[in-house]
Each structure stands twice: as structure tokens, then as C-alpha cells.
Amino acid sequence: MLIVMRQNAPKEEVDAVVAAVRAQNCEPKPIPGGNRTAICVLGNRGSVDPSLFEFLPGVIRCISVTKPYKLVSREIHPENTVVEVNGVSFGQDNTDIPLIAGPCAVESWQQMKAVGQALKARGIRIMRGGAFKPRTSPYAFQGLGDRGLELLERVRDQFGLAIVTEAIDHVNYDRVEAVADIVQIGARNMQNYSLLRRAGRGGKPVLLKRGMAATVDEWLMAAEYILSEGNPNVILCERGVRTFSDHTRNTLDLSAVAVVKKMSHLPVIVDPSHAAGKWEFVIPLSLAARGVGADGLLVEVHLDPAKALSDGAQSLTLKNFDKLLNLLNI
Amino acid sequence: MLIVMRQNAPKEEVDAVVAAVRAQNCEPKPIPGGNRTAICVLGNRGSVDPSLFEFLPGVIRCISVTKPYKLVSREIHPENTVVEVNGVSFGQDNTDIPLIAGPCAVESWQQMKAVGQALKARGIRIMRGGAFKPRTSPYAFQGLGDRGLELLERVRDQFGLAIVTEAIDHVNYDRVEAVADIVQIGARNMQNYSLLRRAGRGGKPVLLKRGMAATVDEWLMAAEYILSEGNPNVILCERGVRTFSDHTRNTLDLSAVAVVKKMSHLPVIVDPSHAAGKWEFVIPLSLAARGVGADGLLVEVHLDPAKALSDGAQSLTLKNFDKLLNLLNI
Amino acid sequence: MLIVMRQNAPKEEVDAVVAAVRAQNCEPKPIPGGNRTAICVLGNRGSVDPSLFEFLPGVIRCISVTKPYKLVSREIHPENTVVEVNGVSFGQDNTDIPLIAGPCAVESWQQMKAVGQALKARGIRIMRGGAFKPRTSPYAFQGLGDRGLELLERVRDQFGLAIVTEAIDHVNYDRVEAVADIVQIGARNMQNYSLLRRAGRGGKPVLLKRGMAATVDEWLMAAEYILSEGNPNVILCERGVRTFSDHTRNTLDLSAVAVVKKMSHLPVIVDPSHAAGKWEFVIPLSLAARGVGADGLLVEVHLDPAKALSDGAQSLTLKNFDKLLNLLNI
Amino acid sequence: MLIVMRQNAPKEEVDAVVAAVRAQNCEPKPIPGGNRTAICVLGNRGSVDPSLFEFLPGVIRCISVTKPYKLVSREIHPENTVVEVNGVSFGQDNTDIPLIAGPCAVESWQQMKAVGQALKARGIRIMRGGAFKPRTSPYAFQGLGDRGLELLERVRDQFGLAIVTEAIDHVNYDRVEAVADIVQIGARNMQNYSLLRRAGRGGKPVLLKRGMAATVDEWLMAAEYILSEGNPNVILCERGVRTFSDHTRNTLDLSAVAVVKKMSHLPVIVDPSHAAGKWEFVIPLSLAARGVGADGLLVEVHLDPAKALSDGAQSLTLKNFDKLLNLLNI
């Protein structure tokens, strides 16, 4: 950390800061400049809290120099982490980009069976489907809950598909974990640290969506929670952030993929469906995601979007899904 | 809802939309304009999901007309809800603006005792203090946990102060509720619907912070979750939202207070400490919050911010707190 | 437009709104619902100003139904506009994505000559280079001005390259237009309507960058200013928008490309250099831009970024530019 | 500036950075830490461009330490700048907050006369009114132009009111300056540096609105352009920024007022009308602005908002304006 003093700060102010740094068992290193002094803070393990110094007389700013994450950092762990699920590898240089597909919500066995068959026929090996749905309105369809998990279990067994589904609290994590091959933590829960710790103690890979207003640093810190509890298998998922931009539901931030690939060894995939909010933009955004180097795609597919119980507008029909596979040369 | 068709959409497209609306048990009402038709959707209870129609051929946009919340809406419940805690009323036209004050985190009995005494001496009747702290980094101080709750209990009993403290998951909600007079749900958990439902089933008033990227509609919908489970005592708390603006930690959105007062009957208070991130801006923002008509203030006070275990930079010293009380004529 | 009344608004309020709509020479069409009335406004040419009705008693919201642009709209002009410059077509389905490349700023003849040669050798036909640079600080390098235009003229003549350079005010527009094959209007001037009108009266194609906080609608409205003055040759350019996201200088909003292609017939290209702010992310973002269907790329190239007078950090070296061309199969 | 190297960067990389800093006539000061070196850059006048070093091998980040503005900085000029216009002082500790009021646009002599009389009767000494209106749509009312300036001149002479009106380009700056007592530069032109320089060469005080996506640093830099050309009389005006928040037209960022008061000696006022977009929120936001310590208010008043040619929805009627004056004890 660097502590910047005001111009011509008197010696007493500088000395007081130096003492405060020492009190934190860190080594202060004052650097006198032309008209102002800055004080480097050395020897800290992890990051030092700037708030410890910002209020001291004469201090103008405290600037963090090192990133606050460790286990997820590529600086410390240079090789890619590869998460393998049902023969699909996330984080490897693949010829084909891995696809996870399926409906927003589990609705019925009839639906699950039909979509499971369709995915299997197309060589898709991982299926998504929500049993517990976090919804903005308490009056909206909240998912089939445990009944939905049973249907996912059945589709998994019948078609040999791996399953991704979301856990929303401690109470249902055990049950979700028993069924899912990958447990999803949704954007709204990205900073639900209690849930992240639970995921870290679990044995299943975790799909961690980026929060709607999370910086890349905060997103990686959320992954750090999971790794710090012992679970190394985290797949990050960019799904759009909230901005003033109103032509899509969220603003898909594809640069985040390139930045995460640089900062971290974890695989990072893209969910164009939730970002766009409209099916017609899912195909171009999927191609863009492949272009930027994403380690996979998470795409909503529904056999009859008009009858979907949630998010029909962003779901691809099978026909459009085939068009996407074709454009991806899969 | 209003469904807008493209220019000169053929009759078959309009008819298909009309049929889709009827299939939802709503009444379609086509309005032919000069060169385009729009279809009004009537008879819906609650809001209809636009995604049910957006993908239909010829549909350009679906526009929601009514707000999706009911129980929290002032249209339906015109009188202010007044939440009373320890003789303090939130939501009433008060001469003095109610204050909740205290440290960011519970740190020790010595600290609690000193701050409890100081608050009592100043006529403050409600104290804040975190026992469970959601922190961005897993390596940061996470609060004293259950031991923190014990200290809060003790300070409450000894000084007759009501207590506000945060619950972060189901596991600790029961314990927090037993100690707290107001249970706080933090910004990061504003869309943790599982936790909101738990709060709705509880008997204690809930302080619901606005999420960092939540619209006013989403915030009120989060409150609707609580009310819909039977708990009418919700105090909303504006604490800044995330924007590009980087001179404060978050951008305090005081217009939200005025808008919430219009849209809802619930009381709404302001937390200038977390919004600013720096103590020196807490005083002017507190005065601004009073100006805009906030029903209360939530202010961080620490006897020795330099030694605070979290958020010292945004905590007022007692001296500055006295300055604030003085400026507020309290 | 749709005017939404409060629940059970009395007849007098509805009648007053109806009269106000008529006063604007529009046709009001009240639609009584279960518990509230909405009033459709028909017969308006262009968009009606919602502010004309929003303050009337009983009115809750005014909702615009039609988009406010006409000449740029694909609804009205379904075929792509193709802008041709020096044998390069923007807006056509190209096998190869068109590239515009060159340094951020014109610095010297030596630089211009070297980069001109290098671009020509690689088959690039359009070169960028700023003579007038809008800079945040008055103390930063502001470009060579008229001398820079002379150097651009010379490089154009010597290497047969078309030139893109920016005009920043009326005073220099004539001069820029005389030299440039495409006149750039920068992000900071996207809502400088006086300059847009001047561009609309000019004879050269205009490269219109998206403003840092402009919605797609506002961007298209800015283009509408140019078209409405008689110049149909506008190339839109997405260059990132301002959000809370801090890992790149701006957040490249590639979904805007897909949305613009749907809403408008104008070509839209992408500037990954200004969006990223760092050269290492320019290559993946270029590939993403091609994936999403952009009609071209605007890429900064500098022979020696370490000595660039502006934006060296985001400039590709020739070696990296070759890598990009290779990845694009150009 | 501080240049952060990667962990265990070899000596050659550090040496290369040291050499690059020297090449800029600055003094490099390497600070070896536990596992990484940082290099302080001393001796620079103004700010050094980080892009000069960011691309060098081994460099992870360049961090600016000092703020880039000088003339507007309170560090250098500790006393408040007071701008006096027609007996009103902006920037002084006033008992009453100064008010500028008037219609969004100049519409007719009848309107000007009536509002001029009304303002004079209420003791208001400065009137606003737009003759040149920057509008998102080319089809919207663009102001009366030169005819509007004539009406402003007449109202000034007849009622002894000072006039604030906007200049939008070089062409009309001379004419505006001849009539206006304060020349406004609007939010859309905050980074129109050509116009800022013109304002800096002018003799009239300048009201500089904050751009919709401008940080406080950029806003102060825009003011620096004006001061650096010789005009010290700048009044800053916060008018809301663009965020995801959709309940008001823009998000009024009142913390910016407190921060500007700390960073700069220039007066800063607030425009609640454009921020809110709805008249009903103008009063609470005005009281909030006074609370936060604003040096003035810029409020839209229209005798008959229903007939306003622009922005009627955000204009106070005289009755509501009287209510505001009453609440402000003016």
C-alpha cells in the first residue's frame, strides 16, 4: 500500500503515519518527493485495510498496490485449472467451445425428457435447469423445488447428462449437491458469503456467476471464499452487469473474460441468455464469447418458449439452437 | 401491459398475439393506430410476464404498465407505516430525525460498554453493531459471531438501548432475532429471497438495505417478500448504489428517498457512512438526508476509529458525532 | 404514447388528460381497465413529449411506444446502408472484416511515413490518426493541429491510403473535411448537436463514436441529426461505455452492435483499443467484435508504443498487429 | 506515480523501467518489497502519462498519486473563490442559499415578461432561460436562437435581472456573451474542450454543468481548461449523473458537492430539476442540496408547465416555487 500525504505535511504528521504502520506490524518506508511525501507499506501479508490510515492527519489517499486474492491468482498458480465434468473440460484449449444448455426452469417430466433427448441427440453432455428460482417478485414462479431436483435426477440417469442447477441457501445445498454435477451460485448470491463457504466445503464443482454490480476483483474474491474452504473446482460465469445501457437486460462485459484469463487460472464461461434477455441476440453474443476466448457457453434452450414458465423470451428454440451449433461448427 | 406490434403487422400476427393473451386468462384489447397496432392486456392480477409475448412474430416490445408490488404500495395503503422501536418512531413526521448509531462491528465488551454509555448520555435509543460481518475478502475480520451477539445483549440490558444487527443466513437468523430489536438485512443479501422469506416469518422489525445495483422497484419487491410472509414492519435503508462515480465508495441516491416516500407507505432511512466511505462526508450527507425527508439516519460511530477492526475510515469520533447532533439540533 | 392514470382516477381527471391530448392535435383513446384507465395517444407524427402530460392530476406515468428516430431506422429503410471508402465497404457482408488502423495521434512525418508504409504492405486501405486530440487535461498533448492535417494529406497521397481523422469544432471542420476521407466525431462530441449538423451538411462520410454514457437510442438520434441534414453516409462506432467496471478503461458493449444492426440500416464498427485501454486485450476483443457481427474494426497501431505521445498503452506494435491479422485470417 | 512490478521481476525489467522514467526527465526511486518491487516516479510537473510505462515488460500497474488539476485545486488555492453576479455571491457562507430560477426555454416575450415580474417580486436576482437548446432529437424544439437572446436582453433591462443562458458553439458564444451575465456550458458539452477554451478567453462567469458520465476529477479538469485560459470565474453545477437507477431521469450525486468543496475552491451549485425530471421531487432535492452545503440552486419555474415547449414536467409552478421559497425560509 502507498499512503499519500498532503503537500508539505509537517514532520509530525508523517511520523504519526509511520508509527501507525508499525503498529500493524508492517514496515513503513517514507519517500520524500519534491513537495509531498508518500509512505510505502511493506511486509504485509494479504492486503492492509486502507481505512486504518485514511483518517490520520495529513493523509490524502491510501492506494492498494497488490490484489487482495491469492488462491485464485495466476501470479501464484500459473497453470490453468481444468474442471472436468462428464467428459467435458472447462479451462483447456479446446477445439470446440463446451456448451451447457437447457431450459431456465424445470417444469415437468415431459419437458425434461424432451429436452434431454434433444440435447443428447446433439452431443451436448451437460444440461442446465433451475429447480429453485430466485425471482424478483414473490408472486412469480419460484421453481418446482425438490420435485424439480427429482426430475433432474431422472433426466441425468436416463440420458447420461451431467446436471447444473442452482442452490439458493444452506437448507437446500445438501439436496442440490446430491443431484447436481455442478452446483450453480447465482448472480444475486455472489456475495452471499455464507453460501460461498458452504460451497467451498462441498465436493462438487461450483459455477459462480458474476454479481450484477461486481467488479472483477470482487468476483475473484468470491471465488477465493470457495477455494479457501478447500474446493478448487470453480467455473466462473460472466452473465452481464448492470449499467445505464437499456437495450439488453444486462450489459455483457466480454472484456471481463480476457481479464479473468489473465488474472486467474480458473476457467470462465459466458451466459449470453441472461445478459441479452432476448433470444435473438443470444447467437451473435455466443459467437462473440467464443471470439474473446471464453471456456464455455451456458445457453437457454426451450422446446416451446411461448409456454415457458420463466424467461421464454431469452430461450432459443431447438431450431435456433441448431443454427447456433452450426455457426459454432459443432 | 401493452404489446407493441411492428408497423403494418399483418392480421395473422395480431390475431396470434390476441390468442396468446387469452391463453393467459387475460383480456386483449387491440388499439389500431395510424400505422401500427398496440394491444392492451387487461384483467391480469399482478404483473404479466412480458417474456410470454416478446418472442411472438411481429411483436416489437412489451411494456409493463402497472408496478409489480402490492402490499408495499402506497396506492393500496395510503397511510404511512410507522415502525416503533424503544420509543423511537420511524415513518412519522418527527420534529427530530431519529438516529441509530454505533460501531461497524462489535469488537469487545470494553468497546460496547464505552459506546453504549456515550450513546445513552446523548439520548440515542437505538444502537447498531455487527456481530456477523459480510466482507469482500475471506481474510478480513468477519465479526465476533455468537460472542458478538452476547455483547450486544449485555449492552442492551445494561443501557436500555435497542439493538440493530445483521443476519446473514438462516442458520443464525433465530439467534440474531432473539437478541436484536431490529434485524438488518444487508445490501449484499437484498435479493437473497430465502433470507427475506425467513425475515417475513419473524416477529422483529427488519431494516432492509438497498442492494448496490437495485432499482427502487426491485428494492420494494424485496420488501414485498417480507410483507407477503406476514411481517409488516420493514424499514428501508438507502446506503448508496454502485456507479462509475469514484469519489465516494458508493453514490448516495437521495432521490430514492423521495421516490420511495411517494410509491410506498414504508419508512425509509439513510446510511451516509457506507455510502461515503469517508467520515468527513458523513456530516454533510446526513444533513442532506434530513433535507430530502428521510425517516432516520444510520451512522457509524467509533470511540477510536484508528483502532477499529473494520471501516474505521467512515466512522465518526464522538467529537464529530457531537458536531453532527449539534447541526441537527438534537 | 400511453398515459397511465392512478387507480380509480375520477372522470374529471381522465377528461382533462383527454383534452390535453387533443390540444396537441393527437387523438386520445381511453382504455378502461379493471381498476385503472390508460389513455393511448394516436395520430402523432414523431414522438410526443411525455412532459406535456406527466404533471396532470391523476397521471402516474407516460410511456413512449414508438422509437424517436426515423431516417436511421431499419423499419423504414430495411436494406443495409453500405459506405464505401477507398475500395473498402462498410455494411456489406464481407468475407474479411474491414480494418482501419494507425496511431492515436499524428506525431511526425517520420512516424506517418513508417506507419503508412507498414499498413500499405499489409493491405490496409484506411489509416487513422488524430491531428486535433480532445484530452481530459489542458496540459496533455493536444495534437499537431493543422500541421498534423498536412502530414495526413501527405501520407494519403504517398501511399494511397484513405484517412480518418477527428473534427472537434466548426472552426476546423472545413479543414478536416478537405483532408479526411472519413471525418470522425468523437465520443465526447456525440451530443454536440451543432457539430453533428455541420457534419450533416458536409460531403464526407462520418464516423460517429458512441458517447460514453449514451443509450443506443441516443446514439441513433445523434446519427439522425446527421442524416436529417442530408448526409446519408454515417458509420457508427462502439468504443465502450462508462460503468462501475474498472478492469478496462470502458466497458465494451458488444450487444450494442447486434442491437444497432437490428434497429438501423447503418454500418457499425468497433474500436477495441479505446474500450480496453490496454493493448493486451485488443486482440481478444477484436475477435469478439468480429464474432458479434461488427462491420469493421478501428485499431490503434504504433511502431514504438513506448514513445507514443498519447495512448501508447493501448497501441499494438506491428508484431502484435500482425498477430491480430493472422488470427482474423486477413 | 507508482509503477508496480510483477512478483520477482528480474533486475533487467526493473532497470528498463528505471531507464524509461529517466527518459521522461523524472526521477525513478525503486522500492524493493518482500516479493515485489515498486518504482516511485518523482520530479514530474503535472501528471505523467501512465501509458508511457504500462506496456513495459514486468509492469503490472501504474498508479497515479497526485491529482491532475492545479488552478482549481484547493491544495494550491485554499480560500473560496466567490463569484458575484448582480449582488448575489456564490461561494460565500450565505445565510440564504442563492437561487437562480426561470423557464427551461425562452418561448415568447409574454412568457419572459410574466416570469421576470414574478421572479423580481420574489426577490430573485438571476434568471435562467435557454435560447439555444441542445435536444436529443433533431425534431424537438431547439430554442428561439438569436430571437431568444433578444428577449433575454429585454427582460434583463426591464426587471434588473441578471441572465444565465447556454452557449453551444463558437459561432454563438460571442452573441451569448454579449447578453448573458453568466454563460452556461451544458452537461453534453462538458468535454467540448474547444468551447471550454473559448469560455476561458471570455470575460463572463461560466456555469459549468457536470457531464452525465463525468467523474469529479474530469469535471474539475474541464474547469481547469477555463481557468488555464485566464477566466477565474467558474461556478460548477451538479445536475445528476447517468446510472442504472431509473426512478429519476438522472441520479443526483450530492456527495459530489461535498467532495468538490474539499478538493476545489470553486463554488458549486445544484440543479435538482434536470436531475429529477419530475417537478414533485424538485422540492425535497432542493432541501437536500442546501443540507449538503451547495452554494446555490438552479431551479426551473414555468407559469404554465402544461404549455411549456420543453421540460414542462420538471418545472415548478409559481405556487410550488413559493412553497420551495417558504421551505427554504427565503
Beta carbons within 8 Å of C170's beta carbon, 6+ residues apart: C194, C195, C198, D169, D170, D171
Mean pLDDT of chain C: 92
Q: Which residues pair with C196 in a beta bridge?
A: none
Q: How far is CA A319 from CA A31, A104, A196, in A?
A: 65, 17, 37
A271 to chain C, minimum CA–CA distance in Å? 13
Cα B23 to Cα B185: distance, rounded to the nearest angstrom: 39
A247 Cβ under 8 Å from any chain C Cβ: yes
The residue with greater pLDDT, B200 or C30, is B200
The answer, yes or no, to whether residue D45 has pLDDT greater than 60, is: no
Structure confidence at residue B39 as a pLDDT band (50, 70, 90): confident
CB contact under 8 A, D312 and C55: yes
A170-179 helix and A146-159 helix, angle to the nearest 10 degrees: 20
Mean pLDDT of chain D: 92
Please compute the mean of the pLDDT values over residues B231-259 and round it to a whole number: 97
Structure confidence at residue B158 as a pLDDT band (50, 70, 90): very high
Cα A112 to Cα C318: distance, rounded to the nearest angstrom: 52
Query: Which residue, among B21, B44, B62, B137, would best test binding to A if mutated, counting the most A CBs under 10 Å from its CB?
Result: B137
Q: Which sign, positive or negative, has the C-alpha torsion B44, B48, B50, B54? A: negative
- pLDDT > 70 in chain A, percent: 98
Question: What's the pLDDT at C60?
Answer: 81
pLDDT digits (tens, 9 = 90+) for D245-293: 999 999 999 999 999 999 999 999 999 999 999 999 999 999 999 999 9
CB contact under 8 A, D215 and B247: yes
Query: Cβ contacts (< 8 Å) between B289 and chain D: which residues?
Result: 288, 291
Question: What's the pLDDT at B327?
Answer: 96
Which of B276, B196, C272 has its CA nearest to residue A137? B196
Nearest chain C residue (CA) to D280: C55
The answer, yes or no, to whether residue C271 has pLDDT greater than 60, is: yes
B43 Cβ under 8 Å from any chain C Cβ: yes
Question: What's the pLDDT at B93?
Answer: 79
Residues composing chain D:
330
Judged by DSSP in three states, A29 sits in strand
> The C-alpha cell of C142 is what?
493536444
Query: Which residue, among B66, B141, B194, would best test binding to A if mutated, counting the most A CBs under 10 Å from its CB?
Result: B194
pLDDT digits (tens, 9 = 90+) for D88-124: 999 997 779 999 999 999 999 999 999 999 999 999 9
Query: Cβ contacts (< 8 Å) between B36 and chain C: which residues?
Result: 66
Question: What's the pLDDT at A61?
Answer: 79
Query: Cβ contacts (< 8 Å) between D287 and chain B: which residues?
Result: 291-293
CB contact under 8 A, C75 and B6: yes
pLDDT digits (tens, 9 = 90+) for C147-162: 999 999 999 999 999 9
* Three-class SS of chain C: CEEEECCCCCHHHHHHHHHHHHHCCCEEEEEECCCCEEEEEECCCCCCCHHHCCCCCCEEEEECCCCCCCCCECCCCCCCCCEEECCEEECCCCCCCCEEEECCECCCHHHHHHHHHHHHHCCCCEEECECCCCCCCCCCCCCCCHHHHHHHHHHHHHHCCEEEEECCCHHHHHHHHHHCCEEEECHHHCCCHHHHHHHHHCCCCEEEECCCCCCHHHHHHHHHHHHHCCCCCEEEEECCECCCCCCCCCECCCHHHHHHHHHECCCEEECHHHHHCCHHHHHHHHHHHHHHCCCCEEEEECCCHHHCCCCHHHCECHHHHHHHHHHCCC
Structure confidence at residue B54 as a pLDDT band (50, 70, 90): confident
Which of C199, C209, C113, C208 has its CA nearest to residue C161? C113
Structure confidence at residue A68 as a pLDDT band (50, 70, 90): confident
Cα C308 to Cα D55: distance, rounded to the nearest angstrom: 11
Structure confidence at residue A290 as a pLDDT band (50, 70, 90): very high
> The C-alpha cell of D309 is what?
415547449
A34 Cβ under 8 Å from any chain B Cβ: no
What structural domains does chain C harbor? 2-63 (3.30.70.1140), 83-327 (3.20.20.70)
CB contact under 8 A, D305 and C55: yes
Residue B78: phi and psi, rounded to 5, are: -70, -30
Q: How far is CA D72 from CA A111, C105, D85, D255, in A?
A: 65, 28, 20, 18
pLDDT digits (tens, 9 = 90+) for B275-295: 999 999 999 999 999 999 999
A290 Cβ under 8 Å from any chain C Cβ: yes
Question: Residue B217 carries which side chain, given as an amino acid letter?
Answer: D
Q: Please tell me which of the candidates A245, A259, A291 has its beta carbon nearest to residue C281.
A: A259
Q: Are C206 and C231 in contact (CB under 8 A)?
A: yes
Q: Are C235 and A246 in contact (CB under 8 A)?
A: no
DSSP class per residue in A126-190: EEE-BSS---SSTTS----THHHHHHHHHHHHHHT-EEEEE--SHHHHHHHHHH-SEEEE-GGGT
Question: What's the pLDDT at D291?
Answer: 97
C71 Cβ under 8 Å from any chain D Cβ: no
Q: Predicted ipTM?
A: 0.90
Structure confidence at residue B46 as a pLDDT band (50, 70, 90): low
Cβ atoms within 10 A of the Cβ of A22, count? 11
Question: What's the pLDDT at C270?
Answer: 98
C151 to chain A, minimum CA–CA distance in Å? 34
Cα B65 to Cα A86: distance, rounded to the nearest angstrom: 46
Please compute the mean of the pLDDT values over residues C268-290 and round it to a whole number: 97
Point out the least confidently predicted range of A179-188, B11-20, B99-108, C321-330. Answer: B11-20
Mean pLDDT of chain B: 92
Question: What's the pLDDT at D32?
Answer: 74
The residue with greater pLDDT, D7 or A286, is A286
The answer, yes or no, to whether residue A95 has pLDDT greater than 80, is: no
The answer, yes or no, to whether residue B143 has pLDDT greater than 70, is: yes
Phi-psi region of C83 (alpha: psi -120 to 50; beta: other; left: phi over 0): beta
Structure confidence at residue D141 as a pLDDT band (50, 70, 90): confident
D136 Cβ under 8 Å from any chain C Cβ: yes
Query: Cβ contacts (< 8 Å) between B65 and chain C: which residues?
Result: 2, 4, 38, 61, 63
pLDDT digits (tens, 9 = 90+) for C193-233: 999 999 999 999 999 999 999 999 999 999 999 999 999 99
Beta carbons within 8 Å of C330's beta carbon, 6+ residues apart: C96, C97, C99, C123
Cα A180 to Cα A199: distance, rounded to the nearest angstrom: 12
Beta carbons within 8 Å of D5's beta carbon, 6+ residues apart: D13, D14, D17, D36, D37, D38, D39, D58, D59, D60
Give, for A113, the enclosing helix (H) or strand (E): helix A109-121
pLDDT digits (tens, 9 = 90+) for C3-53: 888 888 888 999 999 998 888 888 888 877 767 788 888 766 555 777 778
Cα A206 to Cα A237: distance, rounded to the nearest angstrom: 10
Please compute the mean of the pLDDT values over residues B10-21 and round it to a whole number: 90
A216-228 helix and A255-263 helix, angle to the nearest 10 degrees: 40
D93 Cβ under 8 Å from any chain B Cβ: no
The answer, yes or no, to whether residue B241 has pLDDT greater than 90, is: yes
Q: Are C216 and A247 in contact (CB under 8 A)?
A: yes
Cβ atoms within 10 A of the Cβ of A209, count? 26
D8 Cβ under 8 Å from any chain A Cβ: no
The answer, yes or no, to whether residue B167 has pLDDT greater than 70, is: yes
List the subunits that have 3+ CB pairs under 8 angstroms with A.
B, C, D
Q: Please tell me which of the candidates B7, B31, B33 has its beta carbon nearest to residue C75.
A: B7
Point out the least confidently predicted range of B315-319, C30-34, D231-235. Answer: C30-34
Query: Cβ contacts (< 8 Å) between D34 and chain A: which residues?
Result: 42-43
